[in-house]
Amino acid sequence: MKVRSLFAILFAFMLVVAACGSDGDSDEGSAETTATTEASDSGDSGDEPATTEAPGSDDGDSGATDGEPQAGGTLVIGSTQTPRHLNGTVQSGYATAVPGTQLNASPLLFDENFEPQPYLAESWSIADDGLSVTLNLVEGAVFHDGVPITSEDVAFSVLTAQANHPFKTMFEPVTSVDTPDPQTAVINLSQPHPAILLAMSPGLLPIIPKHIFDDGQDIKTHPRNTEDFVGSGPFQLVEYEAGSVIRMQRFDDFFIDGRPYLDEIVMEITPDPSTIVLGLENGTTHLSATLGGSANTLRLQDNDDVIVTADGHEAIGQVQWLEFNLKDPILENKEVRQAIAYAIDREFIADVIDQGLSFPVSTGIVEASPFHNSNAEKYDINIEKAKELLTSAGYAEGEINLTIDFIPPSGGTQNSYAEYVVQALEEIGINTELSVSPDFPTWAGRVASGDFQMTINNVWNWGDPVIGVHRSYLSSNRQPAPGVIWSNNTWYANDAVDSILADAGQELDRDARIKLYAEFQDIVADEVPIYFLTTPPFWQAFQPSVQNPPIGIWGHMNPMHETWLSE
């Protein structure tokens, strides 16, 4: 317990310094970070997500509106997230999805009960055998260059995502997309797909223009992914300065009359979340969900002029975990991974490092999901057991030397997690050093290419295990260098797991899916390719003038066409 006591003292000092106005904790993640997922399959099996009350929310204020909607105004969003580009058919993550869902429309929206709602598709139907989905598109929708949006664009977007998006299971069952007329798209499936409607959410299936992107160039590096970007959504791109600002202007010909209300959305990007906190405090920033660590959230909760809430982003199902590289000659040994698991106290991480603003999680499916297995092995802290396992694996005390990476920036929450792991492993005789990447793309490139031993990572369930969970474990989703981040970056392979996930991915019966995912979680718990740490709510803060703030199940990854400013 000596390590945890010392770390608690040091971390308490860090919080005091941060609260007094220094740099403070940074955001977890340019990457995926936060609350999602849980799993209803949006209409096929009838599952409804459970909810968890998060401490410290401003009850009653998070969704309030003040009078009739007012048109006009510029909404300023503070963000630590720098997107690599704006094309969400080939790129996952919060950084791309937040601006991307303003620039592009998706076929469907989802309400607070995970029920699909019309958007670019005014209606839809699923065949009785579950092998096709028909989308009926709204009339008169056009891209930002004035070209009509048709079923050909929907087909192109689905097939592009299927071929290029890192979430391979999301559209894997799609065999073809028929386009019998410009307003009708029929998505044909090789098997029933319980997550197919949810996969048409704003952050998962942006509808992009075929006439621009189907030109023979590699779409992952297509210049129009950022330059002169043409979208289908409520706002159009007018300025893009990588790592600095994204300015989006109201699209006057948007297919929903009178929307959006706002004239502009400006995303001000900074690697320092303390700058965002100051902006929220002085009123120059309207909205942010990348507040940095616990100190910043607690600081804003004490400010009566800022609303802080854990509402929203429920479809994300955020999991913070310690990810192992199973190709490493030390970490390929299961007993070593189990020993490391027994050395780490996730309760301490949630209660001390996160100051009670996150919750311990023991599997890769969050507790709010009906598919969570609470009986899977948790590896509660046991130092003696950890030492025994290392001895059994053939290692003497002090013989193992490891490095641990984390999602930048330095000084952020994941940095604190990594520093704790370094000290925790020292207690069982494992020497560990921090490996610090200067920015998110560097970290992502190293992990995706397998150039790491351990990393603190933040991954989302993305609404249904088929979308957000399978990708991390399927042997078919192991990517050779340079790899793809948020795929099977551990290089884990288990035939039984592959088979179970294949069955769960086409099972429409809720109870049968629960049993399959319980078995999957038991196997993964035994083999420990990943040790699970916490699930944080997605804390966001905004000015009282922000009406209809983005507190739906996708949070800021939802179009803000209904958001308006009261002053």
Q: What is the DSSP string of 494-549?
A: -HHHHHHHHHHTT---HHHHHHHHHHHHHHHHHH-SEEEEEE----EEE-TTEES-
What is the pLDDT at residue 494?
A: 98
- pLDDT tens digits, residue range 513-563? 999 999 999 999 999 999 999 998 889 999 999 999 999 999 999 999 999
- pLDDT grade for 45, boundaries at 50, 70 and 90: very low
In this structure, the answer to whether residues 193 and 334 fall within a common structural domain is: no
Flag whether 368 is in a domain.
yes
What is the pLDDT at residue 444?
A: 95
pLDDT of 567 strictly over 90: no
- pLDDT grade for 291, boundaries at 50, 70 and 90: very high
Burial (CB count within 10 angstroms: exposed 0-12, middle 13-18, buried 19+), residue 270:
middle
Neighbour count for residue 191 (Cβ, 10 Å): 13
Q: What is the mean pLDDT of residues 324-345?
A: 98
| Token pair listed for 10 | 């040091």
Contact 58, 335 (CB under 8 A): no
Helix (H, G, I), strand (E, B) or coil at 144: coil
pLDDT of 63 strictly over 60: no
How far is residue 101's CA from residue 555's CA, in Å, rounded to a whole number? 11
In this structure, the answer to whether residues 159 and 13 fall within a common structural domain is: no
What is the pLDDT at residue 5?
A: 54
What is the pLDDT at residue 17?
A: 35
What is the pLDDT at residue 23?
A: 26
Whole domain around residue 396: which residue ranges? 2-27+314-535
In this structure, the answer to whether residues 479 and 406 fall within a common structural domain is: yes
Flag whether 540 is in a domain.
no
Q: What is the mean pLDDT of residues 171-184?
A: 97
In this structure, the answer to whether residues 365 and 513 fall within a common structural domain is: yes
Domain limit, last residue, from 158, 189, 220: 220
Number of H helices, E strands in the chain: 14, 21
Phi and psi, residue 460, nearest 5°: -110, 150
Q: What is the mean pLDDT of residues 106-113?
A: 94
Which helix (H) or strand (E) segment holds residue 322: the answer is: strand 318-324
Cis peptide before 260 (omega within 30 of 0): yes
pLDDT of 49 strictly over 50: no
How far is residue 173's CA from residue 161's CA, in Å, rounded to a whole number? 12
Contact 269, 84 (CB under 8 A): no
In this structure, the answer to whether residues 372 and 508 fall within a common structural domain is: yes
Flag whether 60 is in a domain.
no
pLDDT of 507 strictly over 80: yes
Q: What is the mean pLDDT of residues 386-398?
A: 98
How far is residue 117's CA from residue 111's CA, in Å, rounded to a whole number? 7
- pLDDT grade for 382, boundaries at 50, 70 and 90: very high
How far is residue 169's CA from residue 488's CA, in Å, rounded to a whole number? 12
- pLDDT tens digits, residue range 222-274? 999 999 999 999 999 999 998 999 999 999 999 999 999 999 999 999 999 99
- Residue-averaged pLDDT of the chain: 89
Total domains, the chain: 2
What is the pLDDT at residue 167?
A: 85
Phi and psi, residue 175, nearest 5°: -100, -30
Q: What is the mean pLDDT of residues 3-20?
A: 46
Q: What is the mean pLDDT of residues 164-179?
A: 93
In this structure, the answer to whether residues 325 and 216 fall within a common structural domain is: no
Largest CA distance in the chain: 70
How far is residue 304's CA from residue 174's CA, in Å, rounded to a whole number? 50
In this structure, the answer to whether residues 102 and 8 fall within a common structural domain is: no
- pLDDT grade for 3, boundaries at 50, 70 and 90: low
Flag whether 98 is in a domain.
yes
In this structure, the answer to whether residues 137 and 20 fall within a common structural domain is: no
- pLDDT grade for 21, boundaries at 50, 70 and 90: very low
What is the pLDDT at residue 28?
A: 32
In this structure, the answer to whether residues 465 and 387 fall within a common structural domain is: yes
Strands (E), 352-505: 359-360, 400-406, 430-434, 454-460
In this structure, the answer to whether residues 370 and 497 fall within a common structural domain is: yes
Q: What is the DSSP letter of 258?
A: T
Domain limit, last residue, from 201, 220, 239: 220
What is the pLDDT at residue 409?
A: 84
What is the pLDDT at residue 40?
A: 25
Distances (CA, A) of 142 to 207, 251, 280, 286, 350: 11, 10, 35, 30, 47
Flag whether 171 is in a domain.
yes
The more confidently predicted of residues 25 and 443 is 443
CATH at 174 = 3.90.76.10
CATH at 332 = 3.10.105.10
In this structure, the answer to whether residues 328 and 468 fall within a common structural domain is: yes
Flag whether 61 is in a domain.
no
As a whole-number percent, the residues of the chain with pLDDT over 70 amount to 88
How far is residue 198's CA from residue 115's CA, in Å, rounded to a whole number? 9
Domain limit, last residue, from 178, 197, 220: 220
In this structure, the answer to whether residues 11 and 92 fall within a common structural domain is: no
What is the pLDDT at residue 57?
A: 53
Flag whether 467 is in a domain.
yes
Flag whether 426 is in a domain.
yes
